[in-house]
């Protein structure tokens, strides 16, 4: 095994970044090669092959990702077939059902973990293994900051839930079952049985929640391979896709095609439009804003409204529609959706397998027009995210029209205010709560700094007494997020947030709030003099953390309209040469 060098320093003459470690003469090459050989790697693995990192978010604390160990083996096989050297490494995993106070608080931490692991190690390209909601944007953000060749492989959705002849969708039907239980329509035993029947395999939520949305957008934006978004977790074709990613990442390294060459402005435009067409999660808004910030791509909150304004929702999936991801996959998946949107997409946007998105989707067919609807029969004629502004949200707020009630999209109602999520939980089912169907439920202190972490509490449960009266939806306003599996006329991501003195902090029970989605307005009908008096009396809440990562988060997190990333992480750093450690 030879290690050619170009000067007396022993630095390698070969092109790959990993050559700085493995192709150097003298002790600076001896030590990394020797320690790798201690794992049983043959010398040929260290003789100029591109090193492919396999970034794995496997964890038993994250059910969605518990099969990623198996998929990593398929990626490795592909890398080896293509002549690369695969090295798997772990990063923090984010399990939505278990982590507290919210996985969103830790998305930026995982992005830092990915970024620094890549930069500090001999990695020429990376395959990102993601699944549960925040793992996808976190891994993409970290890789974007390093700007190396990258492919994202999602774990895929779990099997459909089945219960007493009823198809259950993750999250979406949980909210419905909870309402049925709270109003006495099902028993505790029935609720327990449904709980066991809903989540019955590895994989992420099989509704169009945040996990399925981000996996689909990775595909739509070209950083994931075709059918990445919908192939079920337990389907053998998910393993094949993983192996194909291993093969392809080696070619990307050899060609020098980095993540920034795939995730262009055109890719983000396609992502916004596809999100509207699939009825995608509101969480995609903050994730794409943060990812664009890492890449330096000009992309802002207003782009979500402008680009998605006339996009119809074609995919009839829960929470907006009826079906689940298995049906979506069998109907043709995302290529069929994008082919139907062809005239509205940037077809020249590049994709990781080579060529363009237009070439990828050419001729794709839908095999079920109930699941993937034609343009002339959409689920919702205008399904793109709406960005609202006004004196209650000067920097913006969002609403998802495909999940909302048309009758409430223009609404004027009396505010019923909850100061915190704990206050909401304590009072929402109080029979003496002064609330009716026309009221607007308002939740404060659930934004990026206030909770902290901006949890998915924005889709506030309706008061029990109104549920018993047959009320199924109300206007809700908060600085929080909501689960991608949730539904309703829910205004989210109000910016600036209440905890830092945004106008939401000034709302009091009895104030009138006006929602006018046609005009993109969210207004508080309180005169400016009264608001000024309230503003002068505002006292910010005490920070939830005084040390550690929690304090770092509170001190540096940006608002929702900027993607909730850290201010010091905006902009890519690349992978400049670093000093040796010995």
pLDDT tens figures, 379-430: 999 999 999 999 999 999 999 999 999 999 999 999 999 999 999 999 999 9
Mean pLDDT of the chain: 94
179 close to 214: Cβ distance less than 8 angstroms: no
Sorted by where each starts, the structural domains of the chain and their CATH numbers stand as 1-48 (no CATH), 162-198 (no CATH), 404-541 (3.50.30.80)
pLDDT confidence of residue 3: 42
Measure the CA–CA gap between 156 and 49, rounded to whole angstroms: 30
386, 516 in Cβ contact below 8 A?
A: no
**pLDDT range class, residue 10, cuts 50, 70, 90:** low
Q: Under 8 Å CB-to-CB from 136, ≥6 apart: which residues?
A: 128, 130, 152, 154, 211, 214, 215, 218, 287
Q: Residue 273 belongs to what H/E stretch?
A: helix 265-278
Predicted confidence at residue 196, as pLDDT, reads: 87
Residue 2, pLDDT > 50, answer: no
Average pLDDT for 186-206: 91
What is the DSSP annotation of 170-239? TTHHHHHHHHHHHTTSS-HHHHHHHHHHH--SSSB-SSSSHHHHHHHHHHHTTSS-TTTTTS-TTSHHHH
| Residue 575 banded pLDDT, cuts 50, 70, 90 | confident
Mean pLDDT of all residues in 6-22: 69
Burial tier of 187 (Cβ tally within 10 Å: 0-12, 13-18, 19+): exposed
427 Rama class: left (phi>0) / alpha (psi -120 to 50) / beta? alpha
Per the CB < 8 A criterion, the answer to whether 273 and 69 are in contact is no
Asked if pLDDT for residue 523 goes beyond 70, the answer is yes
- pLDDT band for 176, please (50, 70, 90 cuts): confident
State residue 164's pLDDT score: 87
**pLDDT at residue 15 tops 90:** no
pLDDT at 143: 98
* Residue 268 banded pLDDT, cuts 50, 70, 90: very high
* 3-state helix vs strand vs coil in the chain, percent to 5: 40, 15, 45
Contact 282, 481 (CB under 8 A): yes
The pLDDT score that the predictor gives to residue 171 is 84
Percent of the chain past pLDDT 70, that is, above it, reads 97
Q: What is the mean pLDDT of residues 338-364?
A: 98
Q: Which two tokens stand for residue 462?
A: 């309706």
User: E strands along 100-172, which residues?
Assistant: 125-130, 150-154, 161-163, 166-168
Instruction: List strands edge to edge, sheet with 125-130.
Output: 85-90, 51-56, 125-130, 150-154
Average pLDDT rounded to a whole number, residues 42-56 = 95
- Can you tell me the mean pLDDT for 197-208? 93
Which stretches within 428-570 are classed as H helix?
A: 464-468, 528-537, 548-556
Calpha distance 209→531 (Å, rounded): 37
Give the pLDDT mean for 533-544. Answer: 96
Q: Give me the mean pLDDT over the 228-237 stretch.
A: 97
Give the residue among 568, 563, 571 at the shortest CA–CA distance from 145.
Answer: 571
Please, are residues 478 and 494 in contact by the beta-carbon 8 Å criterion? yes
- pLDDT, residue 11, reads 56
What phi-psi label fits residue 483: left (phi over 0), alpha (psi between -120 and 50 degrees) or beta?
beta
Which residues are 89's β-sheet partners?
A: 55
Check pLDDT > 70 for residue 500. Answer: yes
pLDDT of residue 195: 87
Share of the chain above pLDDT 90, in %: 88
CA distances from 181 to 362, 486, 488 (A): 47, 17, 19
Q: Which pLDDT belongs to residue 373?
A: 98
């Amino acid at each position: 095994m030879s290690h050619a060098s170009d000067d007396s320093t022993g630095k390698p003459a070969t092109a790959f970044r990993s050559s700085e470690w493995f192709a150097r003469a003298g002790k600076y090459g001896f030590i990394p090669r020797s320690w790798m050989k201690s794992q049983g790697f043959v010398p040929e693995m260290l003789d100029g092959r591109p090193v492919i990192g396999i970034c794995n978010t496997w964890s038993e604390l994250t059910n969605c990702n518990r099969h990623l160990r198996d998929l990593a083996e398929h990626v490795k096989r592909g890398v080896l077939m293509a002549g690369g050297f695969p090295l798997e490494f772990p990063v923090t995993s984010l399990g939505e059902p278990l982590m507290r106070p919210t996985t969103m608080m830790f998305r930026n931490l995982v992005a830092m973990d990915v970024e620094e692991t890549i930069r500090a190690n001999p990695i020429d390209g990376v395959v990102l293994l993601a699944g549960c909601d925040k793992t996808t944007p976190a891994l993409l953000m970290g890789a974007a900051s390093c700007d190396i060749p990258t492919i994202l492989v999602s774990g895929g959705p779990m099997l459909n839930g089945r219960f007493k002849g009823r198809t259950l969708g993750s999250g979406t039907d949980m909210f419905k079952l909870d309402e049925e239980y709270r109003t006495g329509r099902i028993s505790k035993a029935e609720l327990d049985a449904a709980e066991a029947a809903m989540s019955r395999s590895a994989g992420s939520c099989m509704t169009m929640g945040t996990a399925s949305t981000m996996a689909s957008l990775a595909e739509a934006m070209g950083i994931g391979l075709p059918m990445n978004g919908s192939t079920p977790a337990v389907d053998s074709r998910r393993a094949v896709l993983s192996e194909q990613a291993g093969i392809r990442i080696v070619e990307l390294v050899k060609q020098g095609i980095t993540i920034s060459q795939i995730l262009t402005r055109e890719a983000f435009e396609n992502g916004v439009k596809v999100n509207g067409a699939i009825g995608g999660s509101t969480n995609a808004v903050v994730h794409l804003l943060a990812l664009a910030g890492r890449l330096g791509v000009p992309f802002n909150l207003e782009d979500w409204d402008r680009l998605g304004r006339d996009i119809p929702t074609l995919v009839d999936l829960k929470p907006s529609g009826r079906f689940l991801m298995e049906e979506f996959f069998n109907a043709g998946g995302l290529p069929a959706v994008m082919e139907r949107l062809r005239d509205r997409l940037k077809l020249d946007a590049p994709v990781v397998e080579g060529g363009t998105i237009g070439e990828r989707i050419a001729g794709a067919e839908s095999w079920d027009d109930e699941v993937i609807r034609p343009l002339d029969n959409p689920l919702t004629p205008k399904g793109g995210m709406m960005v609202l502004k006004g004196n209650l949200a000067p920097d913006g707020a969002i609403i998802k029209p495909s999940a909302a009630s048309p009758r409430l999209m223009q609404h004027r109602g009396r505010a019923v205010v909850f100061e915190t999520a704990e206050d909401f939980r304590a009072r929402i089912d109080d029979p003496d709560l002064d609330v009716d169907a026309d009221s607007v439920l308002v939740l404060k202190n659930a934004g990026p700094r206030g909770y902290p972490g901006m949890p998915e509490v924005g889709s506030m449960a309706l008061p029990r007494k109104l549920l018993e009266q047959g009320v199924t939806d109300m206007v809700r306003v908060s600085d929080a997020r909501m689960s991608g599996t949730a539904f309703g006329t829910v205004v989210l991501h109000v910016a600036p947030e209440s905890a830092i003195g945004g106008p939401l902090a000034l709302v009091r029970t009895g104030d009138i709030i006006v929602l006018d989605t046609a005009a993109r307005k969210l207004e508080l009908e309180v005169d400016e003099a009264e608001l000024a008096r309230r503003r002068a009396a505002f006292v910010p809440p005490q920070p939830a953390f005084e040390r550690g990562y929690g304090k770092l988060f509170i001190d540096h997190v940006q608002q929702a309209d900027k993607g909730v990333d850290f201010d010091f992480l905006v902009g890519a750093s690349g992978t400049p040469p670093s000093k040796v450690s010995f």
